[in-house]
Each structure stands twice: as structure tokens, then as C-alpha cells.
């Protein structure tokens, strides 16, 4: 057991995240909101990728469904956020149940391709169904939730609305991550790991592999939907790009960058990738080139990602002492 694992990383991260609005910078809050929401998206993907060993190439579908559901409810039906947000997660989970039912029947590369195919179907629908989704133009001007109550809380009165929304996001994402952490550590999570390590053996000891995979798929889809719902509000609009496959690969890259062998890995990956993106796009328009290069270096030199490399380094230090 490495020394690093004893540090309460979750608590530290939460404290750091809550402190961001204190800087009073609009830009910091903007980046931090982006990071927090996409961290949830990437961690939800890692439930499949790192814990169950399922390579989903279409996770963006559930992100987009959450975003569209929450956005449409809030903008067109004036449903309060407290209802629209869970509805986004629920509908994404329901869709994951339908799609996942077919996906878990396939293995390996075919699983990846069917998830991709379903995600492209969702994208095509979002792209073309003008009456409901706004089609190619997307749906701009998703309203902020009612946040006036936060201004009345002590110490929060002089913050901007975007700061209020950020704090709400931190609390909600923190809750979601807490739940996911519990799921991963539960007996259910252990069985997922068993399935990743050896599906045949898991089957042999009486685990209904497909059912467990399906449940993991639904949970991952639901949390991706919750992340998407927050993102639509943060982004002030919902667009078909949310479901397009580069969005799925973005989450894959975050997960790999941070390290898929660790619960917090994808969150670290989201942080590093988005901050790097902000820094680099200020200098050059060729961000894809940089991203591709980072990815190749990562694949060849650090397949365990940032957290994996740090963990290995800490372990080596610990042994030397």
C-alpha cells in the first residue's frame, strides 16, 4: 500500500475547488467549472474503462442526452433545476439501459463499435430533429438555475452568478463522485474488477457477467448524463457536438492521461488536459497537434497516466527508505 493512498485526496480536492471563487477571477471560475464537470464525465467513463474493462467509444451519447433533457426542460418548460437535473441523469441512464442491453452482448472491439454506432445515432438525431433539439444550430440560452438563495448565505453575497453556479456544481459533482467512490469500493465494484480481470472465471464462479456489465453501463451513463446536464447550463447552450465522437474520445484521453487504474485518475486528467488546453490555445491554433503528440508520448512512455506514474514514483521512494 503506497503512502500516497493514505492522503485524503478527495477532501483536499473539494477544499481547493471550493476556494476557487475567492480569487475573484471570472476566468478561473470558468476553467474550474469546466474541469469539475468534465471530471465527473471522465470518472463515470472510467467505471466502464478502468473498473469493468469495457472500452466505450460512445460515452458522449449519454452526456448529450443529459444536456438536452435538462436544457429542454429548463428552457422550454421552465422546469426548476432541482427536477430537470435529475431528469437528465435518469433519461441518460434509461437510454444507457436500452443501448447497453445490446452492447454488453458483444465483446472487445465490437462492443466499442456498437457504442460508437449508438452514439452516432444520438448525434444524428440531435443534429436533424430541429423541432425539439434545435438541429444543427443547437439550443442556445439555457437559463441558469434559480441561485438567488445562495447570495443570502453568509460570505457568498458579493459573488457573481457564475460563481454561485460553480459552487453548486462543486457540491453536486462532489456528491456524485462520493457515490461513485462508494460503488467502486462496494462488493458490486469488486465484482466489476473481477470481470475486468477474467470474465470467464467470473462467469464460472456464478457471476452473471452481462447483467453486471449492463448495470455498470447504466450507472456510468446516468452519471455522464448528470455531468452533461450541468455542462449545458455552464456552456449556456446545448449543441449536437456534445454527442459527436470527438467528445467521447476527449473523455477517453482524459482518463488515459490521468490514469485509468485509479479512481481520481480521470479527474486529474480532466484538470491537466483543460488547463493545458487553455494555456496552449492562447499561443497556437494547432491544439490538436499538441494533443496528438501528448497522447503518443503518453501511450509509449506513461501508459499508467499521471497518477500511475506518481504512484510508482512514491512507491519507489517508500521502498528506498
Partner 1 sequence: MPDPSFLFAQALSGLTVAMFLFLIASGLSLIFGVLRVLNFAHGSFYMLGAYLAWQFVQWVGTGPGRFWWAAAGAAAGIAVLGGLVERLLLRHLYGKDELYQLLFTYALVLILSDVAKVAWGTGQLSVSRPPGLDGAVRLAGTVVPYYNLFILLLGPAIAVAFWVVLYRTRAGRLIRAAALDREMLGALGTDVNRLYTGVFVLGSFLAGLGGALVTPVKTIVPGMDVEIIVEAFIVVVIGGLGSFWGTFLGALVYGQVLSFGILVIPRFSIFSVFALMAVVLILRPWGLLGRPLR
- The answer to whether the CB of 239 falls within 8 A of the CB of 110 is no
DSSP 199-245: HHHHHHTT--HHHHHHHHHHHHHHHHHHHHHHHHHHTTEE-GGGGSH
Stretch that binds partner 1, among 103-111, 145-153, 162-170, 218-226 (CB under 8 A): 103-111
**Least distance (Å) between residue 41 CB and partner 1:** 17
For partner 1, the closer of residues 102 and 144 by Cβ is 102
**Least distance (Å) between residue 210 CB and partner 1:** 14
Stretch that binds partner 1, among 37-45, 115-123, 261-269, 275-283 (CB under 8 A): 115-123
Q: Report the C-alpha gap between 68 and 232 in whole angstroms.
A: 7
Q: Which residues 6+ apart lie within 8 Å of 85 measured at CB?
A: 70, 145, 172, 226, 229, 230
121 binds partner 1 (CB under 8 A): yes
For partner 1, the closer of residues 74 and 291 by Cβ is 291
Binding mask 56-75 for partner 1 (x = CB under 8 A): -x------------------
209 binds partner 1 (CB under 8 A): no
156 binds partner 1 (CB under 8 A): no
110 binds partner 1 (CB under 8 A): yes
**Least distance (Å) between residue 97 CB and partner 1:** 15
192-198 contacts, C-beta under 8 A, 24 or more apart: 192/47, 192/51, 192/52, 192/216, 193/51, 193/52, 195/52, 195/53, 196/50, 196/51, 196/52, 196/53, 197/53
Strands 139-140 and 237-238, sheet pairing: antiparallel
For partner 1, the closer of residues 1 and 301 by Cβ is 301
- Three-class secondary structure of residue 140 per DSSP: strand
**Least distance (Å) between residue 298 CB and partner 1:** 8
Q: Report the C-alpha gap between 72 and 238 in whole angstroms.
A: 9
Stretch that binds partner 1, among 4-12, 125-133, 186-194, 269-277 (CB under 8 A): 125-133
Binding mask 260-299 for partner 1 (x = CB under 8 A): --------------------------x-xx-xxx-xx--x
118 binds partner 1 (CB under 8 A): yes
Question: Of 9, 28, 30, 102, which lies in the binding site for partner 1, with binding defined by CB under 8 A?
Answer: 102
Please state the length of the chain.
321
- The answer to whether the CB of 111 falls within 8 A of the CB of 49 is no
98 binds partner 1 (CB under 8 A): no
- Three-class secondary structure of residue 53 per DSSP: coil
Cell numbers describing residue 59: 460515452
Residues 231-250 that bind partner 1 (CB under 8 A): 245, 249
Q: Report the C-alpha gap between 157 and 161 in whole angstroms.
A: 10
- The answer to whether the CB of 81 falls within 8 A of the CB of 74 is yes
Which spans of this chain sit near partner 1 (rule: CB under 8 A)? 49, 55, 57, 102, 105-106, 108-110, 112-114, 116-118, 120-121, 124-125, 127-128, 245, 249, 252-253, 256, 286, 288-289, 291-293, 295-296, 299-300, 303
Amino acid at each position: 500500500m503506497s503512502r500516497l493512498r493514505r492522503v485524503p485526496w478527495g477532501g483536499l480536492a473539494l477544499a481547493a475547488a471550493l476556494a476557487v471563487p475567492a480569487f475573484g477571477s471570472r476566468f478561473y471560475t470558468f476553467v474550474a467549472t469546466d474541469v469539475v464537470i468534465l471530471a465527473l464525465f471522465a470518472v463515470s467513463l472510467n467505471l466502464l474503462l478502468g473498473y469493468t474493462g469495457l472500452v466505450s467509444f460512445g460515452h458522449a451519447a449519454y452526456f448529450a442526452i443529459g444536456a438536452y433533457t435538462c436544457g429542454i426542460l429548463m428552457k422550454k418548460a421552465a422546469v426548476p433545476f432541482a427536477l430537470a437535473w435529475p431528469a437528465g441523469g435518469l433519461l441518460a441512464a434509461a437510454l444507457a439501459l436500452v443501448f447497453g442491453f445490446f452492447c454488453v452482448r458483444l465483446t472487445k472491439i465490437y462492443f466499442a463499435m456498437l457504442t460508437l454506432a449508438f452514439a452516432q445515432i444520438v448525434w444524428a438525431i440531435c443534429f436533424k430533429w430541429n423541432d425539439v433539439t434545435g438541429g444543427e444550430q443547437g439550443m442556445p440560452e439555457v437559463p441558469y438555475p434559480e441561485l438567488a438563495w445562495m447570495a443570502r448565505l453568509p460570505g457568498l453575497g458579493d459573488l457573481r452568478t457564475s460563481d454561485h453556479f460553480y459552487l453548486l456544481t462543486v457540491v453536486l459533482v462532489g456528491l456524485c463522485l462520493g457515490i461513485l467512490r462508494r460503488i467502486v469500493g462496494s462488493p458490486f465494484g469488486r465484482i466489476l474488477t473481477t470481470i475486468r480481470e477474467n470474465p470467464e472465471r467470473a462467469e464460472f464462479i456464478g457471476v452473471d457477467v452481462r447483467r453486471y456489465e449492463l448495470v455498470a453501463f447504466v450507472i456510468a451513463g446516468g452519471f455522464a448524463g448528470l455531468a452533461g446536464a450541468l455542462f449545458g447550463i455552464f456552456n449556456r447552450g446545448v449543441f449536437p457536438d456534445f454527442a459527436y465522437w470527438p467528445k467521447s474520445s476527449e473523455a477517453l484521453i482524459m482518463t488515459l492521461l490521468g490514469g485509468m487504474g485509479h479512481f481520481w485518475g480521470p479527474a486529474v486528467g480532466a484538470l491537466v488536459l483543460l488547463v493545458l488546453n487553455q494555456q496552449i490555445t492562447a499561443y497556437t491554433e494547432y491544439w490538436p497537434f499538441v494533443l496528438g503528440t501528448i497522447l503518443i508520448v503518453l501511450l509509449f512512455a506513461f501508459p499508467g497516466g499521471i497518477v500511475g506514474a506518481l504512484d510508482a514514483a512514491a512507491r519507489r521512494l517508500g521502498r528506498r527508505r
